[in-house]
Amino acid sequence: MQSLKNEMKLLGRNRIDSAGQLSWYKDAVTAQMEVLTEKRQSLRYKARKTTDETALAEIKTEISGLSEQIGTLRRDVKLCGSITARSAVMKEKIRQAAAIRAKEQPQKIQRKEPKEYESFRRRR
């Protein structure tokens, strides 16, 4: 239930209505995550070279903030994947239900064949 709740929050927060929008969002988040990862890596290189303790503390704080943002984006990408998988399963279940309904429907709607004398009854 928690994963469904998180998926619905993601869809509602980003106003995603279709699979195309979900795919676009996932691609955008992945690209943003790559940019932040590169920035974090460059800060790590900078931290190795820095000898000033004050500057090092600021860099580590910035790295920590970037790591939190990247973690949030990773969770969103994971949710996008689970939404895509769940929607594929749901489409298949809906298709199967429609096929079953189509098979049962002709049996339920069995109408009487008009008999020759019914037309005389209606005239009266």
Sign of the torsion formed by the C-alpha atoms of 68, 41, 35 and 7:
negative
Q: State how many domains the chain has.
A: 1
Structural domain contains residue 101: yes
pLDDT in tens, 27-74: 999 999 999 999 999 999 999 988 889 999 999 999 999 999 999 999
Task: Count CB-CB contacts under 10 A for residue 18.
Answer: 8
Burial 69-79 (b: 16+ CB within 10 A, else e): ebeebeebeeb
List the beta strands (DSSP E) in the chain. Answer: none
Structural domain contains residue 123: no
Least confident of 26-35, 73-82, 85-94, 113-122: 113-122
Structural domain contains residue 52: yes
Structural domain contains residue 122: no
Task: Count CB-CB contacts under 10 A for residue 114.
Answer: 9
Q: Domain range spanning residue 102?
A: 2-110
For residue 109, how far is the Cα from the chain centroid? Answer: 39
Structural domain contains residue 88: yes
